[in-house]
Amino acid sequence: MLIREVVVTPVAFRDPPLLNAAGVHEPWALRTIVEVVTDEGVTGLGETYGDLDHLAKTRTAARALTGLDAYDRNAVYTAVAASVGADVVTDAHGLTGAATLEKTVDRVFSPFEVACLDVLGKAAGRPVADLLGGRVRDAVPYSAYLFYKWAGHPDGPDDAFGAALDPDGLVEQARLLVGRYGFRSIKVKGGVFPPAEEIEAVLALRQAFPEHPLRLDPNAAWSVDTSIEVGRALDGVLEYLEDPTGGIDGMAAVAPHVPMPLATNMCVVTPEHLPPAIRQGAIGVLLLDHHYWGGLVKSSHIATLCTTFGIELSMHSNSHLGISLAAMTHLAAATPAVTHACDTHTPWQDGQDVVAPGALRFVDGAVPVPDGPGLGVELDRDALAVMNEQYEKCGVRSRDDTSYMKRFHPTFSPRRPRW
């Protein structure tokens, strides 16, 4: 199973104007699609970020993998690490926490690891979930991921989702997503309006959806004191409060004073963050993300470690396509400790995808594990070509929610904490 060739293709797809603490989503979201082709003619798929620095590193790493054995993922990791060197890559938006060298290598390695597992699964005729230990659930529950949003991009027509700028708008958006996908949990992306307004929105959702577990995630937009006030105001309402404030120290200062667990995909984002977070009791839930936790196997090891220390698991998401959704679904299906519904941006992509339709679907808010070998999804080459052309033409080269927001609101500041 020697790697004969690795093909790296950047793609762009339409994204609605979703608001967050860093600004607003641009009209185009970027991803990179990785194809690992072996000497036996089996091709494995991976998906990762599309930002220029990361794309360059992914391309350099791809060239270093020719001739390696798809079974030998330690050798693949070593080659990726050597190709990354000492360069740390940071996201401009800062929504997935601090960058470190290990996290940079883990991020570059991840799509190749997923693609190698896809190869091995296809060769063995078994789903990736089987390679990760076997499925403990046949379908993986996801949450309705609500965003405050404008009706459309200021330079374009309104989109099909409509505006959501107050509690009624968010409740209406929840009805749309729950109605269409059957989600049984709801997450609100906060950090956009003053906390009192976001509390009001969560309470309106609680009234409209009395049975749905609710989460709120302001991406560290609040001070420690504000986080404690909001946490107490939502006593009995939230399943967990996600990244109310920044840093392990900040989260540890909030945790003992609020009634619900704190969750994160910002202050614990790489292995070296775990010891201090555990020592200080900073978090109760970790949102895994195989795209920056070094792929599926390492994520599953992190989950085991978290369970040992009483930390529960959920899963984080940025804008993504079907290869990522398939990988997330196999990982969560094979990881008993992922007991909270996972996040996904899938509804916001509104059917745009690089994978052929059919393998991935939502049933009662959950994605059944694809049955086919490997990830169980096939590349739609026409869609890939269209999205690659969109990438070439769209002009976006790195996600920058803040600059895009400042085009329309020049005084906007992404300063955190803001409240």
Residues that bind Mg ion (CB under 5 A): 217, 242, 265
Dihedral of CA 331/337/339/340: which sign? Answer: negative
d(CA 317, CA 290): 10
Nearest residue (CB) to ligand GKR, 317 versus 390: 317
If one counts every other C-beta atom within 10 angstroms of the C-beta of residue 85, the result is: 11
Does 299 participate in binding ligand GKR (rule CB under 6 A)?
A: no
Among residues 184, 316, 330, 416, the one that binds ligand GKR under rule CB under 6 A: 316
Among residues 9, 48, 96, 346, the one that binds ligand GKR under rule CB under 6 A: 96
Q: Which does 189 bind (CB under 5 to 8 A by kind): ligand GKR, Mg ion, none?
A: ligand GKR
Nearest to 139 by CA among 337, 374, 367: 367
Q: Which two tokens stand for residue 135?
A: 């499925």
If one counts every other C-beta atom within 10 angstroms of the C-beta of residue 331, the result is: 28
**Least Å distance between CB 121 and ligand GKR?**
28
Q: Is 189 a catalytic residue?
A: yes
User: Has 339 been labeled as part of a binding site?
Assistant: no
Active-site choice (149, 189, 298, 330) = 189
Q: Which does 18 bind (CB under 5 to 8 A by kind): ligand GKR, Mg ion, none?
A: ligand GKR
User: Has 219 been labeled as part of a binding site?
Assistant: yes
Does 185 participate in binding ligand GKR (rule CB under 6 A)?
A: no
Count residues near ligand GKR (CB under 6 A): 13
Q: CB under 6 A: which stretch of 247-255, 316-324, 361-369, 377-385 binds ligand GKR?
A: 316-324
- Burial state string for 268-299 with b = 16 or more CB within 10 A and e = fewer than 16: bbbbebbeebbeeebbbbbbbbbbbbbbbbbb
| Residue 42 to residues 59, 118, 321, 382, 414, Cα–Cα distance (Å) | 20, 9, 22, 20, 45
User: Has 217 been labeled as part of a binding site?
Assistant: yes
**Least Å distance between CB 217 and ligand GKR?**
5
Q: Is 103 a catalytic residue?
A: no
Residues 343-372 touching ligand GKR, rule: CB under 6 A, are 343
The amino acid at 363: V
Does 95 participate in binding ligand GKR (rule CB under 6 A)?
A: yes
- Burial state string for 373-408 with b = 16 or more CB within 10 A and e = fewer than 16: bbbbbbbbeebbebbbebbeebebebbbbbebbbee
Long-range contacts of 329-332 (CB under 8 A, 24+ apart): 329/140, 329/360, 329/367, 329/369, 329/370, 330/127, 330/128, 330/129, 330/132, 330/296, 330/369, 330/370, 330/375, 331/129, 331/132, 331/288, 331/290, 331/296, 331/299, 331/300, 332/137, 332/140
Q: Which does 335 bind (CB under 5 to 8 A by kind): ligand GKR, Mg ion, none?
A: none
Active-site choice (316, 320, 330, 340) = 316
**Least Å distance between CB 381 and ligand GKR?**
28
User: Has 142 been labeled as part of a binding site?
Assistant: no
Q: How many residues does the chain have?
A: 419
Q: CB under 6 A: which stretch of 155-163, 313-321, 355-363, 364-372 binds ligand GKR?
A: 313-321
Among residues 217, 229, 239, 312, the one that binds ligand GKR under rule CB under 6 A: 217
Task: Note whether 312 and 285 are within 8 A (CB).
Answer: yes
Contact set with ligand GKR (CB under 6 A): 18, 20, 95-96, 189, 217, 219, 265, 316-319, 343
Q: Which residue numbers are catalytic?
A: 189, 316
Q: Residue positions in the annotated binding site for substrate? A: 25, 100, 145, 187, 217-219, 265, 316-318, 345, 399
Q: Residue positions in the annotated binding site? A: 25, 100, 145, 187, 217-219, 265, 316-318, 345, 399
